[in-house]
Amino acid sequence: MFTSPAIKALPDLSLDLSDATDWQAGLLRTVRHHLDITAVATEPLSGLFAVGTARGRIHLYGSPGVECTVDISDPAGLRVKFLQFASSVFKLLCIDEHDRLFVWDLANLGRPKLQKIAAFGQPVHAITTSPSHTHAFIALANGEVKTYDLLCLRISQYVIPNVWKVYEERSLAGGPLSGSPTS
Q: What is the pLDDT of residue 80?
A: 94
Task: Give the total number of structural domains in the chain.
Answer: 1
What is d(CA 130, CA 134) in angstroms, rounded to the nearest whole number?
A: 8
Q: Is the dihedral of CA 43, 46, 47, 49 positive or negative?
A: negative
Closest CA relative to residue 53, chosen from 33, 75, 29: 33
- Helix then strand then coil, in percent of the chain rounded to 5, is 10, 40, 50
Instruction: Determine the average pLDDT of the residues in 60-89.
Output: 88
Whether residue 100 is contained in a domain is answered as yes
Whether residue 54 is contained in a domain is answered as yes
134: pLDDT strictly greater than 90: yes
* Mean pLDDT, all residues of the chain: 85
Instruction: Determine the average pLDDT of the residues in 99-111.
Output: 92
What is d(CA 94, CA 79) in angstroms, rounded to the nearest whole number?
A: 10
CB 70 within 8 A of CB 57: yes
Whether residue 9 is contained in a domain is answered as no
Determine which helix (DSSP H) or strand (DSSP E) holds 5, and give its type and residue range: helix 5-8
Whether residue 160 is contained in a domain is answered as yes
Q: What is the pLDDT of residue 183?
A: 46
pLDDT tens, residue by residue, 11-42: 666 666 666 665 666 666 667 766 889 999 99
Whether residue 43 is contained in a domain is answered as yes
Whether residue 97 is contained in a domain is answered as yes
Whether residue 12 is contained in a domain is answered as no
Instruction: Supply the pTM of this predicted model.
Output: 0.77
Residue 96's CATH number: 2.130.10.10
Instruction: Determine the average pLDDT of the residues in 105-132.
Output: 93
Whether residue 182 is contained in a domain is answered as no
Domain limits at 155? Answer: 31-173
Instruction: Determine the average pLDDT of the residues in 137-145.
Output: 95
108: pLDDT strictly greater than 50: yes
What is d(CA 97, CA 17) in angstroms, rounded to the nearest whole number?
A: 45
